[in-house]
Every structure is written in C-alpha cells, then in structure tokens.
Amino acid sequence: MNAISHFAELKQRQRRADALPAAFVARLRERFGERLSLARAVREHHGTDISSYPVTPPDAVVFAESTDDVVAVVEACGAHRVPVIPFGTGTSVEGHVLAVDGGVCVDLSRMNHVLEVNAADLDVRVEAGVTRKQLNAEVKDTGLFFPIDPGADASLGGMASTRASGTNAVRYGTMRENVLGATVVLADGRVIRVGGRARKSAAGYDLVRLFVGAEGTLGILTELTLRLHPIPEGMSAASCAFPSVRAAVDAVIEAIQCGIPIARVELLDRLTVSAVNRYSKLGLAEAPTLWFEFHGTPRGVEEQATQMQAIATEHGGVGFVWSSRPEERSRLWQARHDAYFACLALKPGSRMIATDVCVPISRLADCIAATEEDIARASMPIPLFGHVGDGNFHLMILVDPDSDAEIAEAWDLNARLVRRAMAMGGTCTGEHGIGLGKREFLVEEFGPAVDVMRAIKQALDPAQLLNPGKVL
C-alpha cells in the first residue's frame, strides 16, 4: 500500500460510524464513569498528531490514572476484540496515535506523577504521562536533568515508545540509552516490570530495549525509570556559517574524530536560517550554518569552543561566535525549537510532511547534495535541518493539506530520499519511528528481519489489538 492509499483509507475511516459493542461500552462506563469519553471533539483530538495525516479518531477515549486502569481497558478490549491505542501528548509525527481500525484510546496524560527521585543514583521513576519539561522542572533542585529533547514537550512514555531523541543525542544518546526500566501492561492484561535501577545488567533478554521503540504495539508503558545527568557546571553555545553543507559536515566529522564531546550540533540550510531569522529575529548570515552547544567545566567548554573554532575556520567557517551567557544560549536553542513554526510560516496554511533519514556521517554531505537537487525541482518550499552529529536530518516538506497533488509529490520525494539514505547504509527513520507511513520502508531496510519482528508481535499480541496498523 502506498502513502496515497493510506490517505484515502484514513479519510474513509474518518467517516466510519461508531462500532463499539454496547456491552463493552457499559463495562468501561461502569469502571471509568466520566473518564470514558465518546464525545466527538475528544475523539478527534485523540486521533490527531502533528503529521499531515487526516484526523482518524478512536471510538472512545479513556483517561487512565493508574496502571490498574490501563489493565482494565486492555482486558476489556481483549475480551471484546477491540483495538487499544496509547496516547501521551499527540506530538508524534508518523501517525502513531491514529485509530486506523477504531478502538479505544488510553490517554495517559493524567498519569503525570514523578514517583521517586534518586539523586545519588542519577535516576528517577515517573508515570508515563509526565512530560520532559515537567520532569526537568521537578528535578531542577537536585542539580540533575533529563537531556532527551525532541523539541515538543512530549510525554516520556510516548518518547520511549517512539525511541525519541533530538538535538543532544550526539552526547547523551536517545531514549534507548536513557530508559533503565519500565512497567508494561501486556496485551492480555499481565503487568510486567522490565529492567531496573542497576546501571547495567546482563540478566536475560533486553526487554527494556524491546518495548522502547515498539510504538505501543507490544505493550503499554505505564511507568519508566530514567537516567538523569548532572547539569554541567559550564555550557556554551556557538554559531558558525559555512560556504557549503559539505564544509560544515566535514568540520563536524573532524571534531568528532578529535573526540570533542559536543553536546549538540545542528545543521540549518540557507532556507531554514532565513526562516528562523524572520521568525525569531536573529540576523544570522543566510548560509549553511552549524549551531553548537558544549557542556563541561567552565575551562572545558572554553577549550571545546576554541578547538571547534579552529576546526571550523580550517573548513571555511566564518563568523564563529560563542557565548557562555545563558540568555544567548537560550535564544539560539529556542530559535532551533521554533524552527518548526518558523518553517511553517514560509507557507501560510500549510502542514508539514517531515522526512527523517539518518546516514553514516561520511555520507551525509553526499546525501544532502543529492537531496538538494530534488528540493530545487520541488513545487513547494522545503527547509532542511538536522542533527548532523548523528547523521540525522529532516526535510520539512510544506504541503497544502487539501492538495492531493502536493501530498503525492511530497511522499514521492520522501520515498526517493529514504531509498537514497538506505543505499548509503542509512535508516529510513532516525528518531520519528515507523508509524503508519514507513512500514514498506521497514521491509525494504531489513528484509527477513521483519519476519522476526512479526514473530515477536505474534507471540506477545496474537489478536493484534495493540496499536494496530503501526510498525508492521
């Protein structure tokens, strides 16, 4: 099935009548009372993420307040063969929360308690609905922070489920490296605890990593134990313009090979710089640009910035400016986070189709160069930016959501890019996940390994009720 037929199918689904058995609704109503909603607005909100897919609402929404609540929903759904879809903040970008087969959405946003902060051990236990900003606010006094930052103030359960990362994965890793343990509700209602608080373990199969990135298709995460990191004593941010994307990428490769422990390094193409200049009033030179952040001791970050400046200059970088002043740093990174809105503003009324390939960094400049040719031929504005230290970059293809032609053009461009990246040893998704739209690419990327994924899905969710239509 190609992307366009997804859209047609989803629009069809949008018009589908309620189909939940009355006995099932009665069972949920008895347990959840007003925490069960069948209201259209509530359902539509829960059938929407930030992708360009049509709204695809579930038949009902339950607001869970505990692991037991989630068990009750899953058991009821199992008994009546109704799909169940976990929901955090609805900020995923690959249609993860869309109810393509209807069913019940379990909203976890009320499970928003930080349960346990262990400062000496640099870990924390949270309910899955806690968002990353909430967590950072609640642990601030410990001198620790949770570094994973995908931009949106997503729920930690959702971030774990999509294996999210973001701007500082180059230093701190992704959700894969930062989830120590989890409580999971399985398809049959069993509750298991996977992983734990030990910093490392060689005890049995790595179930934590199996559920992290499974997009809610193998179980529903209700609690997480996460790693925290010390807030660095020194931080500095820097910006530098380059004559070409290739020069910028080469500078980053050299810095990484030299072992400079860059905390963040973001590439913005000329169009993105122009968009953020306008949106965030930055006045940057409109050229391919790198934004850096360094973490360490005050002397250490000075040393890192100085080393980085020397490398950037060698590669033709100009106007390298760095600052340890918090307000300067915040201004730059707020602008980076606003890039989404800044880019949307390039085409009023548009939605974005975001690409997400990740390639070995040695191929990044080639991959971007070939992609720039596609961009030049495209009928819409397409800013490009990304996490260059990881080889992960995004196009934000700005489409008119009502134009089938634009959507088709965007998906075609995405498909070309994904295949280009895979041919270079890369992956179809660095951090957004498979969701609805990349299932074909998953098969192209991994071939028979996908049969192993299917076998695992079959073993853990034989009735295929957990977030159906996603990943596989």
Binders of a second copy among residues 142 to 181 (CB under 8 A) are: 143-144, 162-165, 169-170, 173-174, 176-177
Which listed residue (91, 105, 445, 469) binds a second copy by CB under 8 A?
445
In the complex, what is the shortest distance from the CB of residue 315 to a second copy, in angstroms, rounded to a whole number? 14
User: Would you say 109 and 89 are in contact if contact means Cβ atoms under 8 Å apart?
Assistant: yes
In the complex, what is the shortest distance from the CB of residue 238 to a second copy, in angstroms, rounded to a whole number? 17
List 107's β-bridge partners, or say none: 63, 87
| Rounded alpha-carbon distances, angstroms, from residue 279 to 272, 336, 380, 383, 425 | 10, 11, 19, 14, 35
Tell which positions 227-256 bind a second copy, by CB under 8 A: 229-233, 253, 256
CA 455 to chain centre: 25
Instruction: Please count the CA atoms within 13 angstroms of the CA of 429 that sit on its side-chain side.
Output: 25
Angle at 407 between CA 432 and CA 470, to 5 degrees: 35
Site string for a second copy, 22-51 (x = CB under 8 A): ------------------------------
In the complex, what is the shortest distance from the CB of residue 468 to a second copy, in angstroms, rounded to a whole number? 16
Question: What are 303's two structure tokens?
Answer: 């040393």
Tell which positions 99-128 bind a second copy, by CB under 8 A: 118-123
Q: Is 282 helix (H, G, I), strand (E, B) or coil?
A: coil
Which listed residue (12, 313, 330, 362) binds a second copy by CB under 8 A?
362
Among the residue ranges 52-60, 308-316, 355-363, 401-409, the one whose residues contact a second copy (CB under 8 A): 355-363
Report the candidate in 243, 261, 260 with the shortest Cα–Cα distance to residue 315.
Answer: 243
Which listed residue (61, 442, 465, 466) binds a second copy by CB under 8 A?
442
List 37's β-bridge partners, or say none: 61
In the complex, what is the shortest distance from the CB of residue 421 to a second copy, in angstroms, rounded to a whole number? 8
Question: What are 255's two structure tokens?
Answer: 């810095």
Tell which positions 290-329 bind a second copy, by CB under 8 A: 296-297, 299-300, 303, 307
**Rule CB under 8 A: is residue 391 a binding residue for a second copy?**
yes
Report the candidate in 236, 165, 235, 229 with the shortest Cα–Cα distance to residue 389.
Answer: 165
Which listed residue (396, 434, 436, 465) binds a second copy by CB under 8 A?
434
Which listed residue (312, 359, 368, 415) binds a second copy by CB under 8 A?
359
Which listed residue (360, 369, 405, 423) binds a second copy by CB under 8 A?
360
Burial class (CB in 10 A: 0-12, 13-18, 19+), 35: middle
**Rule CB under 8 A: is residue 193 a binding residue for a second copy?**
yes
Among the residue ranges 67-75, 278-286, 397-405, 424-432, the one whose residues contact a second copy (CB under 8 A): 424-432
Phi first, then psi: give them for residue 448, nearest 5 degrees: -65, -15
Question: What are 217's two structure tokens?
Answer: 């298709």
Q: In the complex with a second copy, which residue's Cβ is closer, 102 or 158?
A: 158
Which ranges of 186-338 would DSSP assign to H, the alpha helix? 207-211, 245-257, 270-280, 298-314, 326-337
Residue type, 137: A
Among the residue ranges 78-86, 97-105, 265-273, 434-442, the one whose residues contact a second copy (CB under 8 A): 434-442
**Rule CB under 8 A: is residue 12 a binding residue for a second copy?**
no
**Rule CB under 8 A: is residue 366 a binding residue for a second copy?**
no
